């Protein structure tokens, strides 16, 4: 069997493939045309960020079975094409954990002790100690936003500094942490009380511009913020403005909305902002680890059919996978929508399947994947979804029922946060397209597509007109408006499909309408399609 390696990896990684008697084609400096030519008769393909695996490449790679990404992100792989051809896509999500955590600490210390300024001034022949008085970490409050593996590694290290640690993560609760190490709080409390804030969340619709000017201004004037996660979580122009105005003392940023950056970037040259060129995973150990990991995973799959960190493979039987794919799409959709509705930590998930939705194990994994994906899209796959849910303290139960339901192929989900349970049901119709058929107790048939508003309001005349007028004034077109009324409590529930999403300020204007009781903006995706 042949394996194409089209980006640089270490010699130890290559030796793993060669020792397994795999024929290795090594093209780290190859042009896109050379890579496309080489992939035609290979069985495995190992890449980093430098290779773009297009739909055309996948189509001509007739023997390709597995693509291994040395790293986390797979945005350079045409995922739908890989799925359609039954190609397994693997990544290495956890190898960089220690490297990213240590870089966070390095930036925190540099920011606190003015090490960078001291170095540059000494090079200029200056000895101005009194101008470089720093701040101790001991006794300060650290706020960790995102408590995945990297966030937890940062927590463990900062405990040794004698810091008081608070954390925010919508998917975790205090019960799974030592009270003496960390206190779980809401984001607002964390922002207002922390001396240091460090970010360890993925970039999603929910986290994009999470720290804008308004939120930065709620921090202490003496506070500092560190981002080694993803560019775009902090609004870069707002951060520059907040530091210049003295709203916060400083920042350290390793990741940017668009990379590489140049001298025109708004953060370049701002006093008290430290920049590093995306070095979170740039250690010898991390590079070696990611090379070995991806080569071992590809080798194990090609030689033994073993799946590790497979991002698109709920079951090993490809024929069965194609058969149940519509149900997996539905389950993932329901989990994704439930996640966007949730405001707090999830404690329990119950799934009930009817009709042809009989493959409960992959359906369960698909639902969990959708549920967790909005917070950790790069880590969650069919292999690790259940493990991560367990780590987060989420109990997931699923069963198949032979009892007749209103719909032939039904998946019902109930998700509990705190003492409140949200129900969403969906069905797969004959065209294999999913429909929502029960939304929080409201029986209605909804085609989930694109941007949607879930609106609860008082059931009185004029509400729809007010909503339509406001959206019209914002130049937002309504694609569909579905309504369900409840005579018992005089309220109505509506699903509004709109052509493009509302900004936060406009969403608030909608929620401020007197008759509106609640508004949730939802982005519906089915499988890999918007």
Mind listing the pLDDT tens digit for each residue in 232-275?
A: 999 999 999 999 999 999 999 999 998 889 999 999 999 999 99
Quick one: pLDDT at residue 528?
42
- The average pLDDT across 103-111 equals 97
- The average pLDDT across 168-193 equals 93
pLDDT at 376 over 70: no
What mean pLDDT value characterizes the chain?
A: 90
Domain boundaries, the chain: 2-95+287-307, 97-275, 314-448, 450-524
Quick one: pLDDT at residue 317?
58
Quick one: pLDDT at residue 263?
95
pLDDT at 44 over 80: yes
Residues 6+ apart with CB under 8 A from 403: 354
**Residue 260, preceding peptide bond in cis (omega within 30° of 0):** yes
Class of domain 2-95+287-307: alpha beta
The DSSP string of 105-131 is: HHHHHHHHHTHHHHHHHHHTT---GGG
- The average pLDDT across 76-81 equals 86
Alpha-carbon torsion 402, 406, 408, 414, what sign?
Answer: negative
- The average pLDDT across 221-235 equals 96
Say whether 191 sits in a helix, a strand or coil: helix
pLDDT at 407 over 90: no
The pTM of the full predicted model, rounded to 2 decimals, is: 0.71
User: Two tokens at 111?
Assistant: 């920011």
Of the residues 129, 259, 487, 488, only one is catalytic, namely 259
Of the residues 84, 157, 278, 491, only one is catalytic, namely 278
Question: Is 121 an annotated catalytic residue?
Answer: no
User: Two tokens at 437?
Assistant: 């058929």
* pLDDT (tens digit per residue) in 113-132: 999 989 989 999 999 898 89
Quick one: pLDDT at residue 375?
64
- Rounded Cα gap, residues 261 and 252, in angstroms: 15
432 phi and psi angles, rounded to 5 deg: 70, 10
Quick one: pLDDT at residue 314?
64
Quick one: pLDDT at residue 256?
94
Quick one: pLDDT at residue 255?
93
* pLDDT (tens digit per residue) in 446-487: 999 899 999 999 988 999 999 999 999 999 999 999 999 876
Question: Is 278 an annotated catalytic residue?
Answer: yes
Class of domain 97-275: alpha beta
- Judge residue 488's burial from the number of C-beta atoms within 10 Å of its C-beta, 0-12 exposed, 13-18 middle, 19 or more buried: exposed
Q: What angle do CA 464, 529, 203 make, to 5 degrees?
A: 85
With cut-offs at 50, 70 and 90, classify the pLDDT of residue 195. Answer: very high
Helices 318-341 and 360-373 meet at what angle, rounded to 10?
A: 40
Residues 6+ apart with CB under 8 A from 420: none
Residues 6+ apart with CB under 8 A from 405: 354, 355
- Judge residue 530's burial from the number of C-beta atoms within 10 Å of its C-beta, 0-12 exposed, 13-18 middle, 19 or more buried: exposed
Quick one: pLDDT at residue 143?
98
Sort strands 410-417 and 346-353 into parallel, antiparallel or unpaired.
antiparallel
Q: Hey, do 2-95+287-307 and 97-275 end up sharing a CATH topology, with the first three levels equal?
A: yes
With cut-offs at 50, 70 and 90, classify the pLDDT of residue 526. Answer: low
- The average pLDDT across 385-393 equals 83
* Percentage of the residues of the chain whose pLDDT score is greater than 70: 96
Q: Identify which of 44, 91, 97 has the alpha carbon closest to the alpha carbon of residue 377.
A: 91
Distance from CA of residue 207 to its chain's centroid?
Answer: 9
User: Two tokens at 142?
Assistant: 């650290």
pLDDT at 227 over 50: yes
pLDDT at 527 over 70: no
Question: Is 230 an annotated catalytic residue?
Answer: yes
CATH superfamily of 450-524: ACT domain (3.30.70.260)
Quick one: pLDDT at residue 312?
77
- The average pLDDT across 148-175 equals 93
- The average pLDDT across 27-51 equals 93
- The average pLDDT across 29-40 equals 93
Of the residues 230, 265, 373, 375, only one is catalytic, namely 230
With cut-offs at 50, 70 and 90, classify the pLDDT of residue 68. Answer: very high
- Rounded Cα gap, residues 195 and 112, in angstroms: 11
Residue 157, Cβ neighbours under 10 Å: how many?
Answer: 16
Class of domain 314-448: alpha beta
């Amino acid at each position: 069997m042949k394996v194409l390696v089209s980006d640089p990896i270490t010699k130890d990684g290559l030796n793993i493939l060669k020792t397994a008697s795999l024929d290795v084609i090594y093209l780290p400096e190859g042009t896109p045309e050379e890579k496309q030519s080489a992939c035609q008769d290979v069985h495995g393909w190992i890449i980093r960020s430098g290779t773009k695996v297009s739909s055309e490449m996948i189509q001509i790679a007739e023997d390709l079975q597995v693509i291994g990404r040395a790293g986390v992100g797979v945005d350079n792989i045409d995922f739908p094409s890989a799925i359609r051809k039954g190609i397994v896509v693997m990544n290495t999500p956890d190898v960089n954990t220690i490297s990213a955590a240590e870089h966070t600490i390095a930036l925190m210390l540099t920011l606190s002790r003015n090490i960078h300024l001291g170095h540059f001034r000494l090079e200029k022949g200056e000895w101005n100690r009194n101008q470089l008085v720093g701040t101790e970490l001991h006794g300060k409050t650290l706020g960790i936003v995102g408590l995945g593996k990297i966030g937890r590694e940062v927590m463990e290290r900062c405990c040794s500094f004698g810091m008081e640690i608070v954390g925010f993560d919508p998917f975790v609760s205090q019960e799974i942490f030592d009270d003496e190490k960390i206190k779980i709080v809401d984001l607002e409390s964390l922002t207002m009380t922390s001396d240091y804030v460090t970010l360890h969340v993925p970039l999603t619709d929910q986290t994009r511009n999470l720290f804008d000017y308004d939120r930065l201004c709620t921090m202490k004037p003496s506070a500092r913020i560190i981002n080694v996660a993803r560019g775009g979580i902090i609004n870069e122009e707002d951060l520059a403005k907040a530091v210049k105005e003295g709203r916060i003392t400083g920042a350290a940023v390793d990741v940017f909305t668009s990379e590489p950056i140049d001298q025109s970037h708004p953060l370049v040259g701002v006093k008290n902002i430290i920049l590093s060129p995306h070095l979170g995973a740039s250690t010898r150990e991390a590079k070696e680890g990611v090379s070995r990991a991806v080569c071992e995973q590809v080798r194990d799959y090609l030689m033994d059919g073993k799946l590790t960190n497979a991002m698109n493979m709920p079951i090993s039987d490809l024929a069965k996978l194609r058969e149940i794919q519509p149900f997996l799409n539905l389950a993932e959709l329901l989990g994704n929508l439930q996640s966007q509705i949730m405001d707090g930590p999830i404690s329990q998930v119950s799934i009930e399947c009817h009709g042809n939705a009989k493959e409960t194990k992959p359906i369960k994994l698909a639902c969990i994947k959708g549920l967790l994906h909005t917070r950790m899209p790069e880590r969650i796959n069919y292999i690790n979804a259940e493990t991560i849910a367990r780590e987060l303290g989420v109990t997931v139960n699923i069963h198949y029922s032979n009892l007749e339901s209103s719909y032939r192929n039904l998946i019902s989900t109930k998700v509990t946060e705190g003492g409140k349970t949200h129900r969403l049901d969906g069905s797969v119709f004959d065209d294999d397209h999913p429909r929502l058929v029960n939304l929080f107790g409201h029986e209605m048939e909804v085609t989930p597509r694109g941007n949607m508003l879930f609106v609860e309001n008082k059931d009185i005349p004029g509400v729809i007109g007010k909503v339509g007028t406001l959206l019209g004034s914002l130049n937002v077109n309504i694609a569909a408006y579905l309504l369900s009324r409840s005579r018992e409590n005089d309220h109505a529930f509506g699903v509004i499909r709109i052509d493009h999403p509302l900004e936060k300020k406009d969403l608030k204007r909608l929620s401020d309408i007197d008759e509106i009781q609640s508004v949730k903006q939802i982005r519906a995706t089915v499988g890999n399609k918007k």
